[in-house]
Chains A and B, each alone.
Chain A
Amino acid sequence: MVTSPNDMEGPGESAGLIEIEGLTKRFGSFTAVDGVSFSVKRGEVVGFLGPNGAGKSTTMRMLAGFMLPTAGTARICGEDVVKSPVAAKRNLGFLPEGAPTYPEMSVTDFLDFCARIRGFGGAEREERVAHAMALTQLEGVRLQPIETLSKGFKRRVGLAQALLHSPPVLVLDEPTDGLDPNQKHEVRELIRAMAPEKAIIISTHILEEVAAVCTRAIVIARGRVLADATPAALVADGRSMEEVFRSLTLGAAA
């Protein structure tokens, strides 16, 4: 493990809340993520773009401590995700791809479980659960088993779980996938409202979403970062976001 001088720094305001350094993941001979480095400061919303299989979810999984990187590392609020995963995960709200939840549990029970695991007790736990449900508009279905809910509601249960502990860092893998246009709008509003206090990474296939909520776009393909700029800078030459995306990612595949 290579240690950089940054290891000595605390999670000060100047340092990024998310710091990714040379993150690499290989599966056998296949390199899914290849030396990805970037950092995200408080107040930034990074849109993580790329074709399917580009390494978006793998990067996010390593960031969330679910996969161990082959090389490189990442820090969340100064805590190394490899060396002190539990401390790093405490500061992180993570929505895994597909928003998995326990289907037989009711929304309240599920969020209560997550709150307990995160160490909240008594009145604070109830308050946290209620607040997370209010943010994601789940009050109407609070006692329903999650398996009976529509895709949009399930996604919002996953989102509520990620927001429960008001984490400084949010990593959301396709947060608006499966939502109808109104719900997409709500989630984007929610992200925008939270943005000033947090460092947020969202992955998405929807290019207009990047322009709508992100302060920065990172385009990744074949495990490498191809572009890292503000959405406005990406389309500065007059092309549409889609054209930029196609030229960047198809160029890499060729």
Chain B
Amino acid sequence: MKAALTVARREFAAYFATPVATVFIVIFLVLSGALTFTLGGFFGRGQADLIPFFSFVPWLFLFLVPALTMRLWAEERRLGTIELLLTLPITAGQAVVGKFLAAWAFCAVALALTFPLVLTVNLLGEPDNGVILTGYLGCFLVAGAYLAVGAAISAVTRNQVIAFVLAVAGCFLFAAAGSPVVTEFLSSQFPVLAEVARGISVSERINGFTRGVISARDFVFFASFIAFWLFVNTVILELKKAD
């Protein structure tokens, strides 16, 4: 774990050494704010809560998180530093977990910087801050899920554009799987698959969090979802590290 944290520390610092951090955070803040106030009708709803914000964030992450993950392994390959990193006395798994944790912590920073929204609703009304907290937790877990998928995909290809497109597609699959359009279609055609689709859907899982409900099942879902993709990432890395 110590080695993984050392890798994470380095990675995290690297985000802020390049314009990646600034661009990501500024775009995230502008889009999340703009969507919340315009499409979300933040003021018009007349309610002191962050429901519109929490409903847009997972969709923003769908595009922004793959932008983070596309360079995760591709960049190491391009620079050749993957050869350095993986010949240090660490396992591929430690490198994978380290990189994931750094990216996740970075998403946490981006989320934390949306705090003016929380201040705004507290100023305008009396929101249930517990619900807001669980909403943030849900968004954080969705970011982790997308990161895990994107990181595994970036280990497959050294082309960053391909990594980005595939990661968006992969994340969209898990985001859309629970949407009514998909499940209704599937339940009319293939009832068995509808259950599966609802089971693997990330967006389905976040609903509880935005309503202020934290259930163990949702936690287990995200934990196993992330663990599964980190495992896939490790396997791919072991197989393809020298390619």
- Which B residues lie at the A interface, using CB under 8 A? 2-3, 6-7, 9-10, 13-14, 17-18, 79-81, 83-84, 86-91, 241-242
Complexed CA–CA distance, A90 and B17 (Å): 29
Instruction: Name A101's contact: one of B7, B17, B81 (CB within 8 Å).
Output: B81
- B83's partner among A61, A102, A103, A118 (CB-CB below 8 A) is A61
Beta-carbon nearest neighbor of B242 in chain A: A67
Q: Is the CB of B14 within 8 A of A117?
A: no
4 pairs of A and B residues whose beta carbons are closest in the complex = A100-B80, A104-B17, A96-B83, A89-B89
- Bound-state Cα–Cα, A98 to B84, Å: 11
What chain A residues lie within 8 Å of B242 (beta carbons)? 61, 66-67
Q: Give the distance in Å from the alpha carbon of A105 to the alpha carbon of B15 in the complex.
A: 11
Contacts of B241 in A (CB 8 A): 66-67
Known: A66-B242, A100-B79. A105 touches B17 (CB 8 A): yes
A116 at the interface (CB under 8 A from B): yes
Query: Interface residue count for A (Cβ, 8 Å)?
Result: 30
Complex Cα distance, B205 from A138, in Å, reads 52
Check if A118 sits within 8 Å of B80, measured CB to CB: no
User: Does the CB pair B87–A66 fall under 8 Å?
Assistant: yes
A117 touches B81 (CB 8 A): no
With known contacts A67-B242, A104-B17, A105-B17, A118–B81 Cβ distance under 8 A: no
A183 CB to nearest chain B CB (Å): 21
Does residue A153 face the partner (Cβ distance < 8 Å to B)? no
Complex CA distance for A158 and B83, rounded to whole angstroms: 12
Task: Determine whether the beta carbon of A94 is less than 8 Å from that of B79.
Answer: no
Query: Cβ of B83 and Cβ of A100 under 8 Å apart?
Result: yes
Chain A 19-65 interface residues, beta-carbon cutoff 8 Å to B: 61, 64-65
Distance A109 CA – B10 CA, assembled complex (angstroms) = 9
Residues of B within 8 A of A100 (CB): 79-81, 83-84
A240 to chain B, nearest CB (A): 34
24 sample A-B contacts, Cβ–Cβ < 8 Å, listed by A number: A61-B242, A64-B87, A65-B87, A66-B83, A66-B242, A67-B241, A86-B91, A87-B89, A89-B88, A90-B89, A96-B83, A96-B87, A102-B81, A105-B10, A105-B13, A105-B14, A105-B17, A114-B88, A116-B9, A117-B3, A117-B88, A117-B90, A119-B2, A119-B89
B80 contact set on A, CB distance < 8 A: 96-98, 100
Contact with B along A135-172 (1 / 0, CB 8 A): 00000000000000000000000100100000000000
Given contacts A66-B242, A100-B81, A102-B14, are A89 and B7 in contact (CB under 8 A)?
A: no
For A96, list chain B residues within 8 Å (CB). 80, 83-84, 87
- How far does the alpha carbon of A105 sit from the alpha carbon of B80 in the complex, in Å? 15
| Nearest chain B CB to A84 CB, angstrom units | 11
Residues of B within 8 A of A118 (CB): 88-89
Residue of B nearest to A88 (CB): B89
Q: What is the CB-to-nearest-CB distance from B66 to chain A, in angstroms, rounded to a whole number? A: 22
In the assembled complex, the CB of A156 is this many whole angstroms from the nearest CB of chain B, namely 15
Cα–Cα, bound, A64→B94 (Å): 17
For A98, list chain B residues within 8 Å (CB). 80
